[in-house]
A and B are shown apart, each in its own frame.
Chain A
Amino acid sequence: MRYLLRRAAFYLLTAWAAITLNFLIPRMLPGDPVRSLIARFQGRISVEATESLYILFGLDEQKSLWQQYLDYWGNLLSGNLGLSFAYFPTPVVDIIEQSLPWTLALVGLSTILSFVLGTMLGVWVGWRRGTWADGLLPVTNFLSAIPYFWIGLIAIAVFAVAWPIFPASGGFDPGLIPSATPEFIGSAIYHGLLPAFTIVISSVAGWILGMRNMMVTVSSEDYVTVAHAKGLPERRVMIGYAARNAVLPNVSGFALSLGFIVGGTLVTEMVFTYPGIGYMLFQAVGAKDYPLMQGFFLIITLSVLVANMLADIAYAVLDPRTRQEG
C-alpha cells in the first residue's frame, strides 16, 4: 500500500509538472504567431473565447504571471482548453473527446499485445541461448532501429497498394456512421488491423531483447540451480523461477518507456490517417492550431501517467516485496 501511495504522489507531481510546462512553453517562446491568428479570427470569436485564448497563451500583459497561472488552472479545471483554430469554432475538448477512444483502442491494445508477445518470446530466446534461437536477435535489432512510421509506409505499400487486402487509411468505412452496430464495429476492427500489426512489429523487438538479457542474467542465479537440483520439470523452472524474477525489470521498463512508445505510435496514426489523437495532432501542427496542440499534449501526458500507474499496480501484484508493510 505504501508503495502505491508513494507512486501516486509521484504521478500527481508529474501531472502538475506537465501542466505547468504546458503553461510555461508558449510564454517562453515568441507569441506573435498566436496573436496574429487570433487577430485573423477577430469578430468571429466571441469575447469570452478570445479571453480564454489570451489566458492559454499569456498574451494579456497587464496581469502578473501568477494571476495568469491561477486563471489557467481555473480554465483547466472547468474543462475549458480554448477553441480550435483549424476546426473553428469547435472547442478543443470536443475534438479530444472524439479522437481519444480511437487512440486508446488501437495504441492501448497493440502496445499491451506487443509487450506480452515480446516478453514471452524473450523468455524463450533467453532460455535457449546458444541455439538457433539466437538468430532472432539480429532481426529484432534491425526492427528496433527503424522508425515506426516507416514500417507503416511499407505495410501500406505491400498490403494495401501492391496486394490490396487491407484498407490504406481511415478508421472505418466512410459509408458508415459511427454507432454500436456490429457492421460498424467489424469495419473498425478491419481498418485497425494493419496499423495494429505495424505497432506490434516495430515495438516487439525491444521487449524481446530486454527480457532475453534479463533471462540470461537470472538463469545463473543460485535459486535457479537449486530448482534444477530439486529435479523440477524444466518448464516449471523456466516459468516459475527464472521468468518470474526476470519479468520485474521488464515491467518497470515498460512503465518508463511508455512515453516513448506512445510518441512513436502516434506517428503511425498519421501514416494511416487513423482518426485518433496522433493524426489530429498532425493536422493541428499543419494548421498551426496551437490550442489544439496544447490540449493534445496535455491529454497524451495524462493518459501516459494513468497507464504508468496501471503498470505500477501490475508490478506490485508480481513482486510481493512491494506489498510489505512498514
Chain B
Amino acid sequence: MVTPAQAPAVVTEPTAGSTRRRRGLTGNLLFFRNRKTVIGLVILGFFTVLALIGDLIAPYDPSLPSEVGLQPPSADHWLGTTLLGQDILSQILVGTRGVLFVGLLAGLLAAVLSVLVGVTAGFLGGIGDEGLSLLSNIFLVIPALPLIIIVAGLLPDAGGLTVALIIALTGWAWGARVLRAQTLSLRRRDFIEAARANGESTWRIIVFEILPNLTAVIASGFIGTVIFAILSEITLAFMGVTNISEWNWGTILFWAQSNQALALGAWWWFVPAGLCIAAVGTALTLINFGIDEFVNPRLRTTGKNAKILRARRIRARVGFTPVYRGTGKEQS
C-alpha cells in the first residue's frame, strides 16, 4: 500500500506539511541507492546514448549491400554480415532509435490516458466510475496484439509514429485500473478532506494533492507500458506488418527469418538483436522492481538487506517482516 509518506512526494504545497517533504527527500535518495534501480538506469542510459548517436557511430550504411555476404563476426564486421552483406552492427546501432522512440512515446501517451481515466474514475465515484472502469476492463480483456496487428495491417506502411499511437490506444487500461484503485484509497484521507474543507477546487485537489501521491504508481505504469510497447513494436516489425524499410531490432529479425538464417546456421544474425531487446526489457523491469520495493518495503529482502539478515542469522520467514532499520522508520 502506498501511504502518502512513502510515495516520492514532489509536493511543493504547504498543505503537505514539512515533515512529509523531508521524508520524501530521503525517500528519493533511497530509491537511487537501490542496486536494482541503478543497474537498470545504467543499462537504459547506455541504450539511450546509442539511440541518440547510433547513426553517427555506425561503421557502415545499414542498408548497403556488399560482396561479403553471411560472414561470421570478424574485425571488419564486429557482428558479422547478412546474406546481402549488410553490416549487422550498423543495423542494430541505427535501429536503437526507432525502438526507444516508439517505446517511450507510446508509454508516455498511454500514461497520460491512464491518468486521465484512472484518476477521474477513482475520484468521481458513482456512475462515472462504473462507466470508466467498465471501459478499461473491456480494453484489458480484448487481446491487444491481434487488435494492433489488424489496425496496422489495414494501414499501408505504418511507420513508427502510427505504431506508437496504436499501441498507446490499446495499452493504457492496466495503468488506469491500478491508478483508480489507488485514488479510491486516497480520496477519503484526512489531508484530502482538509483540502476540501479549505474550499480548494476539485481540479486543484486532483493536481496538487492526489497526483503527487500517485507518482510511484504512475511511474511504474509508464515503465510497464514502455516494455509492452517495445515488445509489441518488435513483434509487429518481425511479422512484417509495419514498414520494413525502417530499421529497428524487429526488422533485423524479420530479414533473418525470411532469409532462413536459422537453417543457414547464421546465429550472429538473430542473437544480438534478441539480446539487445532482453537487455532493454531487463533494465526497465529492474527499474520497476526498484519502484515496487520502494513502495512496498516488505519486498526488500535481497541485496544489502538480505546480507545483513544472514550475518545476524535471521532467516526471513513467516510471521515478521524483516525491514532494514533505515527503511523501517518510513512506515507511518
Q: CA of A131 to CA of B253 in the docked complex: distance in angstroms?
A: 39
Given the known interface contacts A154-B274, A242-B318, the answer about A213 and B145 at a Cβ–Cβ threshold of 8 Å is: no
Residue of B nearest to A156 (CB): B262
Please judge, given known A-B contacts A130-B315, A141-B285, whether A153 and B270 are in contact too, CB under 8 Å. Answer: yes
CB-contacts of A22-76 with B (<8 A): 25-26, 29-30, 33
Q: Which secondary structure dominates where chain B touches chain A?
A: helix
A13 to chain B, nearest CB (A): 7
What are the residues of chain A within 8 A of B317 when measuring CB–CB?
A: 127, 130, 219
A residues near B227, Cβ cutoff 8 Å: 145
Which listed residue, B137, B155, B318, touches A10 by the CB 8 Å rule?
A: B137
CA distance A30 to B153 in the complex (A): 12
Which residues, 273 to 312 on B, are CB-close (under 8 Å) to A?
Answer: 274, 277-278, 280-282, 284-286, 289, 292, 296, 298-299, 301-302, 306, 309-310
Question: Which chain A residues border B155 with CB–CB below 8 Å?
Answer: 29-30
Interchain CB contact under 8 A, B146 and A224: no
Q: Are B309 and A130 in contact (CB under 8 A)?
A: yes
Within 8 A of A (CB), among B258-273: 262-263, 265, 267, 270-271
> Roughly how many angstroms separate A293 CA and B134 CA in the complex, as a whole number?
27
Q: Is B144 in the interface zone, CB < 8 Å from A?
A: yes
Let me know if A145 and B284 touch, CB within 8 A.
yes
* Contact in complex: B142, A301 (CB < 8 Å): yes
Check A86 for interface membership: any CB of B closer than 8 A.
no
Question: Which A residues lie within 8 Å of B98 (CB)?
Answer: none
- B322 on the A face (CB < 8 A): yes
B232 to chain A, nearest CB (A): 8
- Name A300's closest neighbour in chain B (CB-CB): B146
In the complex the two chains form, is A168's CB within 8 Å of B284's CB?
A: no
A161 interface contact, C-beta 8 A: yes
Interface size class of chain A, counting residues whose CB lies under 8 Å from the partner chain: 35 or more
B11 at the interface (CB under 8 A from A): no
Contact A150 B253 (CB under 8 A): yes
Chain B residues whose CB sits within 8 angstroms of the CB of A271 once the complex forms: 257
Asked if A297 is an interface residue, CB under 8 A from chain B, the answer is: yes
Q: Which of A10, A150, A270, A290 has the most CB of B within 10 A?
A: A150
Contact: A217 with B301, CB < 8 Å? no
Q: Are the C-beta atoms of A153 and B257 separated by less than 8 Å?
A: yes
- CB contacts under 8 Å to A, within B234-253, are 234-235, 238-241, 253
Q: Is A296 an interface residue (CB 8 A)?
A: yes
Say whether B57 faces chain A, with CB atoms less than 8 Å apart. no
Asked if A297 and B150 make an inter-chain contact with CB atoms under 8 angstroms apart, the answer reads: yes
Q: How far is the CB of B90 from chain A (nearest CB, A)?
A: 21
Q: Which of A88-96, A174-182, A259-267 contacts B (4 or more CB under 8 A)?
A: A259-267
Beta-carbon contact of A297 and B147 below 8 Å: yes
Q: Is A308 located at the chain interface by the 8 A CB criterion?
A: yes
CB distance from A273 to the nearest CB of B (A): 11
With A142-B282, A147-B277, A220-B319 in contact, is A134–B143 under 8 Å at CB? Answer: no
Q: Are A216 and B301 in contact (CB under 8 A)?
A: yes
Cβ contact within 8 Å between B142 and A18:
yes
Q: Give the CA-CA distance A18 to B141 in the complex, in Å.
A: 10
Interface membership of B231, Cβ < 8 A = yes
Give the complex CA separation of A252 and B149 in angstroms. 26
Question: Closest 8 A-B residue pairs measured CB to CB?
Answer: A145-B281, A263-B145, A130-B316, A259-B143, A150-B274, A225-B319, A219-B318, A146-B278
Q: Which residues of chain A have a CB within 8 Å of any CB of chain B?
A: 10-11, 13-14, 17-18, 21, 25-26, 29-30, 33, 127, 129-131, 134, 137, 141-142, 144-147, 149-150, 153-154, 156-157, 161-162, 168, 213, 216-217, 219-220, 224-225, 228, 237, 242, 256, 258-260, 262-264, 266-267, 270-271, 281-282, 285-286, 288, 290, 293-294, 296-297, 300-301, 304-305, 308
* Known A127-B317, A262-B146, A285-B239; 19 more pairs at CB < 8 Å: A21-B142, A33-B154, A130-B322, A147-B277, A150-B253, A150-B277, A153-B253, A156-B262, A161-B263, A217-B298, A220-B320, A259-B143, A260-B228, A264-B231, A267-B238, A281-B149, A285-B241, A304-B141, A308-B141
